[in-house]
Structure 1
Amino acid sequence: MPITLSNPAGVHTPGAYSHAALVSGATERLVLSGQVGTRPDGTPVEDGVAQIDQALANIGTILEAHGMTKANLVKMTVFLTDPALIPAWRAARGAWLGEHRPASTLLIVAGLADPKFKVEVEAEAAK
């Protein structure tokens, strides 16, 4: 696979992410729009923790539709409207990604485009 995740010497040791993701010789790059807690039938998930799970499920479905898996993820950007959701995000991310550690950014924001959503996750993948 053309993805190398790295944590160079001279930079602090990261948590459950990598400082860099080098994509060498990739033939395909997939950029995903921000995914929120919307079920396949278009209905929103109410609870913030369930929204996290649904956003990750949506990402998995999109990856699969393009012949990719979580192992192809090189970057995730997460927007939370409530800092109390950080532990739930970290637990869900760890369970969902396993040992894969793409580059990652987590932001606490005042709100998303629709106030019923508490979580939005953007992602990029390559193969």
Structure 2
Amino acid sequence: MRMHTRRNPSGNEPATYSQGIEVLGGGRTLYISGQIGVDEVGNILPGIAAQSDAVFINLQAVLKEAGMTFENLVKTTVFLTNRDDFPTFAEIRKAHLEHAKPSSTLVIVSGLVRPDLLVEVEGVAVASS
């Protein structure tokens, strides 16, 4: 299995995500439900920094259980409830993902399932069979 990044015609190369990722060959695909900012016992953490950190810790745990890492992540969808939280979220995302650059969509939403949730991230990962 090989993965190649693809660009749109603008030539824009975002720093923290890819415009597109093409997966060639067979492999396993993992669809990851939206991960939220909760600790190991399910408590919602206070603030965007703590919730964003927990989102990526939880996302990494799901990947690890499938024998994958952030390098296998090919797509994320991010839901933020406050546009002003984006810089903090982006900084934490960059720290967790390091060199991984999945394709990504970010949407500002009016709310999540619980009013104290500020961010949710779902993903798709692909690994060799």
Match of residue 44 from structure 2: 44
Alignment of 1:1-127 (within 5 A): 1-8=1-8, 10-15=9-14, 16-127=16-127
How many residues in Structure 1 have an aligned counterpart in Structure 2? Answer: 126
Deviation at 1:71, TM superposition (A): 0.2
Asked whether the 8 Å contact 1:5–1:101 carries over to 2, the reply is no
- In structure 2, distance between residues paired with 1:53 and 1:14: 25
Deviation at 1:59, TM superposition (A): 0.3
Q: Which amino acid aligns with 1:14?
A: E
Asked whether the 8 Å contact 1:3–1:126 carries over to 2, the reply is no
TM-score, scaled relative to structure 2: 0.92
Unpaired segments ≥5 residues, structure 2: none
Q: For the structure 1 residues 5 and 95, does the alpha-carbon distance in structure 2 shift closer, same or farther, using more than 3 Å as the test?
A: same
- In structure 1, distance between residues paired with 2:13 and 2:52: 22
The runs of 4+ residues in structure 1 deviating greater than 6 Å are none
Q: Which moved more, 1:15-24 or 1:57-66?
A: 15-24
CA deviations on 1:36-88 (whole Å, 9 max, x unpaired) are 01111111111121100000000001100000000000001100001111001
TM-score, scaled relative to structure 1: 0.93
- In structure 1, distance between residues paired with 2:62 and 2:89: 20
